[in-house]
């Protein structure tokens, strides 16, 4: 199991568009992947799950992966969150 914390950089957080990008990236991996915010854990491949967390900019989240490509999955998802989902370029 691979676990890492990251702070959501973009101002609006994980609303529909960035959450969709996150899910698309998570689905590239075979591992089971979850996001934790405070005490709640949801499937990182579920749009409704991610949206239900109400993650706004500046929120710290935990990315957890368990499987054959867990390290790669966590790194790729952390890089995506750190990039701000490229929203600043729009």
Catalytic residues: 15
Residue 12 class from Cβ within 10 Å (0-12 exposed, 13-18 middle, 19+ buried)? middle
C-alpha 90, offset from chain centre: 20
C-beta of residue 4 within 8 angstroms of C-beta of residue 73: no
Q: What is the DSSP letter of 69?
A: T
Contacts of 15 (CB under 8 A, 6+ apart): 51
């Amino acid at each position: 199991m691979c676990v890492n914390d990251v702070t959501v950089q973009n101002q609006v957080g994980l609303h529909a568009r960035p959450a969709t990008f996150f899910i698309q990236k998570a689905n590239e991996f075979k591992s089971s992947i979850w996001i934790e915010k405070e005490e709640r854990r949801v499937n990182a491949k579920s749009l409704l799950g991610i949206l239900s967390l109400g993650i706004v900019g500046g929120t710290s989240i935990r990315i957890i992966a368990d499987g054959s490509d867990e390290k790669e999955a966590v790194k790729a998802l952390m890089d995506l969150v750190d990039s701000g989902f490229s929203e600043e370029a729009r």
